Protein backbone atom coordinates (compact mmCIF):
# COMPACT_ATOMS: atom_id res chain seq x y z
CA UNK A 1 0.00 0.00 0.00
CA UNK A 2 1.18 3.53 -0.78
CA UNK A 3 0.18 6.25 1.65
CA UNK A 4 -0.51 9.48 -0.26
CA UNK A 5 0.10 12.92 1.23
CA UNK A 6 -1.50 16.14 0.01
CA UNK A 7 0.13 19.57 -0.07
CA UNK A 8 -0.38 22.86 -1.87
CA UNK A 9 1.60 25.48 -3.73
CA UNK A 10 0.58 29.10 -4.11
CA UNK A 11 1.60 31.80 -6.55
CA UNK A 12 1.67 35.53 -5.92
CA UNK A 13 2.44 38.32 -8.40
CA UNK A 14 3.41 41.99 -8.09
CA UNK A 15 0.43 44.30 -8.57
CA UNK A 16 -2.05 41.44 -8.35
CA UNK A 17 -4.49 40.84 -5.52
CA UNK A 18 -5.29 37.41 -4.11
CA UNK A 19 -3.35 34.24 -4.70
CA UNK A 20 -3.63 31.20 -6.93
CA UNK A 21 -3.51 27.85 -5.16
CA UNK A 22 -3.02 24.30 -6.47
CA UNK A 23 -3.01 20.96 -4.65
CA UNK A 24 -0.35 18.29 -5.24
CA UNK A 25 0.28 14.76 -3.99
CA UNK A 26 3.20 12.51 -3.17
CA UNK A 27 3.63 9.00 -1.83
CA UNK A 28 5.28 8.57 1.56
CA UNK A 29 9.01 8.24 0.95
CA UNK A 30 8.82 10.12 -2.36
CA UNK A 31 8.73 13.74 -1.22
CA UNK A 32 8.94 16.34 -4.00
CA UNK A 33 12.15 18.34 -4.28
CA UNK A 34 12.39 21.86 -2.93
CA UNK A 35 11.71 24.57 -5.47
CA UNK A 36 15.02 25.85 -6.87
CA UNK A 37 16.07 29.19 -5.44
CA UNK A 38 15.52 32.18 -7.72
CA UNK A 39 13.74 30.25 -10.47
CA UNK A 40 10.11 30.55 -9.42
CA UNK A 41 10.22 33.70 -7.33
CA UNK A 42 6.43 33.96 -7.12
CA UNK A 43 5.62 30.30 -6.42
CA UNK A 44 5.84 28.83 -2.92
CA UNK A 45 5.29 25.26 -1.73
CA UNK A 46 6.42 25.92 1.85
CA UNK A 47 5.49 28.42 4.57
CA UNK A 48 7.56 31.35 3.33
CA UNK A 49 6.28 33.61 6.10
CA UNK A 50 7.81 31.31 8.73
CA UNK A 51 10.79 29.85 6.88
CA UNK A 52 11.76 32.60 4.44
CA UNK A 53 11.45 32.87 0.67
CA UNK A 54 14.00 30.22 -0.33
CA UNK A 55 12.73 26.64 -0.20
CA UNK A 56 14.61 23.82 1.50
CA UNK A 57 14.15 20.01 1.44
CA UNK A 58 13.86 20.06 5.23
CA UNK A 59 10.79 22.30 5.16
CA UNK A 60 7.35 20.77 5.50
CA UNK A 61 5.22 21.25 2.39
CA UNK A 62 2.53 23.92 2.58
CA UNK A 63 -0.80 22.73 4.11
CA UNK A 64 0.59 19.19 4.08
CA UNK A 65 -1.85 16.44 5.13
CA UNK A 66 -0.12 13.13 5.84
CA UNK A 67 -2.08 10.01 4.91
CA UNK A 68 -4.71 11.92 2.94
CA UNK A 69 -5.62 8.66 1.19
CA UNK A 70 -3.95 5.47 -0.05
CA UNK A 71 -3.30 3.62 -3.31
CA UNK A 72 -1.97 0.16 -4.02
CA UNK A 73 1.81 0.15 -4.30
CA UNK A 74 2.97 0.18 -7.91
CA UNK A 75 6.01 -1.91 -6.89
CA UNK A 76 3.73 -4.78 -5.79
CA UNK A 77 4.44 -7.67 -8.17
CA UNK A 78 0.71 -8.53 -8.33
CA UNK A 79 0.13 -5.43 -10.44
CA UNK A 80 2.72 -6.17 -13.11
CA UNK A 81 1.46 -6.82 -16.64
CA UNK A 82 3.95 -9.62 -17.23
CA UNK A 83 2.70 -10.65 -20.68
CA UNK A 84 1.86 -7.16 -22.01
CA UNK A 85 -1.77 -8.03 -22.71
CA UNK A 86 -3.17 -4.99 -20.87
CA UNK A 87 -4.10 -6.96 -17.74
CA UNK A 88 -2.08 -7.22 -14.56
CA UNK A 89 -1.36 -10.45 -12.73
CA UNK A 90 -3.96 -9.37 -10.15
CA UNK A 91 -6.57 -8.87 -12.89
CA UNK A 92 -5.90 -12.37 -14.19
CA UNK A 93 -5.87 -13.93 -10.71
CA UNK A 94 -9.35 -12.58 -9.99
CA UNK A 95 -10.69 -14.35 -13.10
CA UNK A 96 -8.91 -17.57 -12.12
CA UNK A 97 -10.35 -17.46 -8.60
CA UNK A 98 -13.86 -16.90 -9.99
CA UNK A 99 -13.46 -20.01 -12.14
CA UNK A 100 -12.28 -22.00 -9.10
CA UNK A 101 -15.57 -21.03 -7.46
CA UNK A 102 -17.43 -22.62 -10.36
CA UNK A 103 -18.46 -19.40 -12.12
CA UNK A 104 -17.38 -17.77 -15.36
CA UNK A 105 -16.46 -14.17 -16.05
CA UNK A 106 -14.83 -12.25 -18.88
CA UNK A 107 -11.36 -10.86 -18.27
CA UNK A 108 -11.60 -7.36 -16.77
CA UNK A 109 -9.14 -4.65 -15.93
CA UNK A 110 -9.73 -3.99 -12.25
CA UNK A 111 -6.61 -1.99 -11.40
CA UNK A 112 -4.79 0.81 -13.14
CA UNK A 113 -2.08 3.34 -12.41
CA UNK A 114 -3.54 6.54 -11.03
CA UNK A 115 -1.46 9.62 -11.93
CA UNK A 116 -1.52 12.53 -9.50
CA UNK A 117 -0.23 16.11 -9.75
CA UNK A 118 3.14 15.91 -7.99
CA UNK A 119 5.09 19.14 -8.46
CA UNK A 120 4.59 22.51 -10.18
CA UNK A 121 6.50 23.32 -13.33
CA UNK A 122 9.01 26.02 -12.45
CA UNK A 123 10.69 28.38 -14.86
CA UNK A 124 9.70 31.15 -17.23
CA UNK A 125 6.05 30.13 -17.45
CA UNK A 126 5.53 30.52 -13.71
CA UNK A 127 6.60 34.16 -13.62
CA UNK A 128 3.24 35.37 -14.92
CA UNK A 129 -0.32 34.12 -14.42
CA UNK A 130 -1.99 31.78 -14.99
CA UNK A 131 -0.71 28.99 -12.75
CA UNK A 132 -2.60 26.37 -14.77
CA UNK A 133 -3.31 22.66 -14.65
CA UNK A 134 -0.87 22.32 -17.54
CA UNK A 135 1.94 23.73 -15.39
CA UNK A 136 2.42 20.67 -13.23
CA UNK A 137 4.35 17.43 -13.22
CA UNK A 138 2.32 14.27 -12.62
CA UNK A 139 3.53 11.02 -11.11
CA UNK A 140 2.09 7.51 -10.99
CA UNK A 141 2.10 7.15 -7.21
CA UNK A 142 0.09 3.92 -7.11
CA UNK A 143 -2.90 2.01 -8.45
CA UNK A 144 -6.65 2.40 -8.02
CA UNK A 145 -9.57 -0.02 -8.40
CA UNK A 146 -12.61 0.50 -10.62
CA UNK A 147 -15.93 0.96 -8.76
CA UNK A 148 -18.61 -1.74 -8.82
CA UNK A 149 -22.35 -1.36 -9.47
CA UNK A 150 -24.92 -3.13 -7.28
CA UNK A 151 -28.28 -4.59 -8.33
CA UNK A 152 -29.96 -1.23 -7.71
CA UNK A 153 -27.60 0.61 -10.04
CA UNK A 154 -25.62 2.26 -7.25
CA UNK A 155 -21.85 2.32 -7.26
CA UNK A 156 -19.86 0.97 -4.35
CA UNK A 157 -16.35 0.10 -3.27
CA UNK A 158 -16.09 -3.42 -1.77
CA UNK A 159 -15.29 -4.15 1.87
CA UNK A 160 -14.94 -7.26 4.04
CA UNK A 161 -18.68 -7.98 3.95
CA UNK A 162 -18.59 -8.09 0.15
CA UNK A 163 -15.57 -10.40 0.20
CA UNK A 164 -17.56 -12.82 2.37
CA UNK A 165 -20.78 -12.49 0.37
CA UNK A 166 -22.34 -14.49 -2.45
CA UNK A 167 -20.76 -12.73 -5.45
CA UNK A 168 -18.00 -14.98 -6.86
CA UNK A 169 -16.31 -11.95 -8.39
CA UNK A 170 -16.08 -10.07 -5.09
CA UNK A 171 -15.11 -13.18 -3.13
CA UNK A 172 -12.31 -13.72 -5.66
CA UNK A 173 -11.24 -10.08 -5.43
CA UNK A 174 -11.08 -10.37 -1.65
CA UNK A 175 -8.83 -13.41 -1.94
CA UNK A 176 -6.42 -11.44 -4.12
CA UNK A 177 -6.26 -8.07 -2.32
CA UNK A 178 -7.91 -8.75 1.05
CA UNK A 179 -8.22 -5.03 1.73
CA UNK A 180 -11.45 -3.11 2.38
CA UNK A 181 -11.84 -0.15 0.04
CA UNK A 182 -13.51 3.24 -0.04
CA UNK A 183 -14.36 5.72 -2.76
CA UNK A 184 -12.04 8.49 -3.86
CA UNK A 185 -13.82 11.62 -5.05
CA UNK A 186 -12.76 14.67 -7.01
CA UNK A 187 -13.69 18.13 -5.74
CA UNK A 188 -13.46 21.13 -8.05
CA UNK A 189 -13.27 24.61 -6.55
CA UNK A 190 -14.81 27.82 -7.78
CA UNK A 191 -13.13 29.75 -10.59
CA UNK A 192 -10.25 31.83 -9.28
CA UNK A 193 -9.58 35.41 -10.32
CA UNK A 194 -6.53 37.63 -10.15
CA UNK A 195 -6.88 41.40 -10.25
CA UNK A 196 -4.29 43.91 -11.40
CA UNK A 197 -4.20 47.69 -10.98
CA UNK A 198 -7.49 48.26 -12.80
CA UNK A 199 -10.64 46.38 -13.70
CA UNK A 200 -9.36 45.57 -17.19
CA UNK A 201 -6.63 43.40 -15.67
CA UNK A 202 -9.01 40.89 -14.06
CA UNK A 203 -8.22 37.35 -15.20
CA UNK A 204 -10.23 34.21 -14.56
CA UNK A 205 -7.98 31.31 -13.63
CA UNK A 206 -8.77 27.61 -13.75
CA UNK A 207 -10.28 26.41 -10.47
CA UNK A 208 -8.30 24.38 -7.99
CA UNK A 209 -9.17 20.71 -7.55
CA UNK A 210 -8.43 18.06 -4.96
CA UNK A 211 -9.04 14.40 -4.19
CA UNK A 212 -10.89 13.41 -1.04
CA UNK A 213 -11.64 9.95 0.33
CA UNK A 214 -15.15 8.77 1.08
CA UNK A 215 -14.93 8.54 4.86
CA UNK A 216 -13.84 12.18 5.04
CA UNK A 217 -16.18 13.52 2.37
CA UNK A 218 -19.34 12.01 3.83
CA UNK A 219 -18.75 13.83 7.11
CA UNK A 220 -18.79 17.23 5.42
CA UNK A 221 -20.71 17.05 2.12
CA UNK A 222 -24.10 18.66 1.55
CA UNK A 223 -26.69 19.79 -0.99
CA UNK A 224 -28.01 23.32 -1.28
CA UNK A 225 -31.71 23.14 -0.46
CA UNK A 226 -34.51 25.67 -0.07
CA UNK A 227 -33.27 29.22 0.52
CA UNK A 228 -29.78 27.96 -0.31
CA UNK A 229 -29.49 26.21 3.06
CA UNK A 230 -27.17 23.18 3.31
CA UNK A 231 -28.84 19.77 3.59
CA UNK A 232 -27.04 16.55 4.51
CA UNK A 233 -27.29 13.98 1.68
CA UNK A 234 -29.10 10.68 2.18
CA UNK A 235 -28.83 7.43 0.22
CA UNK A 236 -31.79 8.62 -1.85
CA UNK A 237 -30.21 11.99 -2.72
CA UNK A 238 -26.55 11.08 -3.27
CA UNK A 239 -27.04 11.38 -7.02
CA UNK A 240 -27.83 15.09 -6.67
CA UNK A 241 -25.14 17.75 -6.93
CA UNK A 242 -23.10 17.80 -3.72
CA UNK A 243 -20.61 20.24 -2.23
CA UNK A 244 -18.16 20.60 0.64
CA UNK A 245 -16.03 23.30 2.23
CA UNK A 246 -12.26 22.86 2.38
CA UNK A 247 -10.24 22.83 4.60
CA UNK A 248 -12.81 20.84 6.58
CA UNK A 249 -14.42 21.80 9.86
CA UNK A 250 -15.84 18.51 11.11
CA UNK A 251 -17.57 20.09 14.09
CA UNK A 252 -19.47 22.61 11.95
CA UNK A 253 -19.14 21.53 8.30
CA UNK A 254 -22.06 23.43 6.73
CA UNK A 255 -21.06 27.02 7.50
CA UNK A 256 -18.33 28.55 5.37
CA UNK A 257 -15.48 30.21 7.25
CA UNK A 258 -14.70 33.22 5.06
CA UNK A 259 -11.04 33.79 4.36
CA UNK A 260 -10.22 30.21 5.33
CA UNK A 261 -12.47 27.82 3.41
CA UNK A 262 -13.41 27.45 -0.25
CA UNK A 263 -16.44 25.77 -1.78
CA UNK A 264 -15.81 22.58 -3.78
CA UNK A 265 -18.21 20.65 -6.01
CA UNK A 266 -18.04 16.85 -6.13
CA UNK A 267 -17.33 16.21 -9.82
CA UNK A 268 -17.25 13.26 -12.21
CA UNK A 269 -14.73 12.60 -14.96
CA UNK A 270 -17.07 14.24 -17.48
CA UNK A 271 -17.50 17.26 -15.21
CA UNK A 272 -13.71 17.57 -15.00
CA UNK A 273 -13.31 17.57 -18.78
CA UNK A 274 -16.06 20.15 -19.28
CA UNK A 275 -14.69 22.49 -16.62
CA UNK A 276 -11.07 22.36 -17.75
CA UNK A 277 -11.85 22.07 -21.47
CA UNK A 278 -9.40 19.22 -21.88
CA UNK A 279 -9.48 15.46 -21.73
CA UNK A 280 -8.29 13.94 -18.49
CA UNK A 281 -5.89 11.87 -20.57
CA UNK A 282 -3.70 11.04 -17.59
CA UNK A 283 -6.60 9.04 -16.12
CA UNK A 284 -7.20 5.51 -17.35
CA UNK A 285 -10.66 5.42 -18.93
CA UNK A 286 -10.93 1.71 -18.17
CA UNK A 287 -11.36 2.29 -14.46
CA UNK A 288 -13.10 5.67 -14.60
CA UNK A 289 -15.66 4.82 -17.29
CA UNK A 290 -18.16 3.41 -14.78
CA UNK A 291 -21.10 5.78 -14.33
CA UNK A 292 -21.28 6.20 -10.57
CA UNK A 293 -24.46 7.52 -8.99
CA UNK A 294 -22.59 9.73 -6.51
CA UNK A 295 -19.67 10.71 -8.80
CA UNK A 296 -17.05 8.61 -7.02
CA UNK A 297 -13.96 8.50 -9.18
CA UNK A 298 -12.22 5.26 -8.19
CA UNK A 299 -11.86 2.89 -5.23
CA UNK A 300 -8.77 2.95 -3.02
CA UNK A 301 -7.59 1.05 0.08
CA UNK A 302 -9.52 2.19 3.14
CA UNK A 303 -7.47 4.12 5.70
CA UNK A 304 -9.01 5.16 9.01
CA UNK A 305 -12.52 6.41 9.58
For the residues of 191-225, what is the DSSP string, one character each?
Answer: PEEEB-SSGGG-EEEPPPEEEEEHHHHHHH-BEE-
Does the pLDDT of residue 63 top 90, yes or no?
yes
pLDDT winner (highest mean) among 143-152, 199-208, 231-240: 143-152
Q: What is the pLDDT of residues 82-134, one digit of tens each?
A: 888 889 999 999 999 999 999 999 999 999 999 999 988 776 554 454 456 55
Q: What is the pLDDT of residues 168-217, one digit of tens each?
A: 999 999 999 999 999 999 999 987 766 665 555 566 677 889 999 999 99
Average pLDDT, the chain: 85
CA pair distance 56, 33, nearest whole angstrom: 8
CA pair distance 228, 6, nearest whole angstrom: 31
Does the pLDDT of residue 42 top 70, yes or no?
yes
Residue 33: alpha-carbon gap to chain centroid: 21
CA pair distance 264, 267, nearest whole angstrom: 9
Q: What is the pLDDT of residue 282?
A: 47
Residue 147: alpha-carbon gap to chain centroid: 15
What is the model's pTM? 0.88
Per-residue pLDDT band at 263 (split at 50, 70, 90): very high
Q: What is the pLDDT of residue 17?
A: 54
CA pair distance 181, 298, nearest whole angstrom: 10
Q: What is the pLDDT of residue 134?
A: 57
Residue 157: alpha-carbon gap to chain centroid: 16
Amino acid sequence: MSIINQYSCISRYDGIDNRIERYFYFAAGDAPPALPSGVAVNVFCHDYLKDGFNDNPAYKRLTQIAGHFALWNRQDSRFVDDDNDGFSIADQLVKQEVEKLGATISQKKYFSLFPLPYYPVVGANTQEPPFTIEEQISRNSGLALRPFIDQNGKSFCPDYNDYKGDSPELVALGRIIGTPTEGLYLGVGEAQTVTGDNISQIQRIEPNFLYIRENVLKKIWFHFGANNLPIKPTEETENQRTYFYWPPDFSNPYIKKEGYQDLYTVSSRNDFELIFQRQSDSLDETITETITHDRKFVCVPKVGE
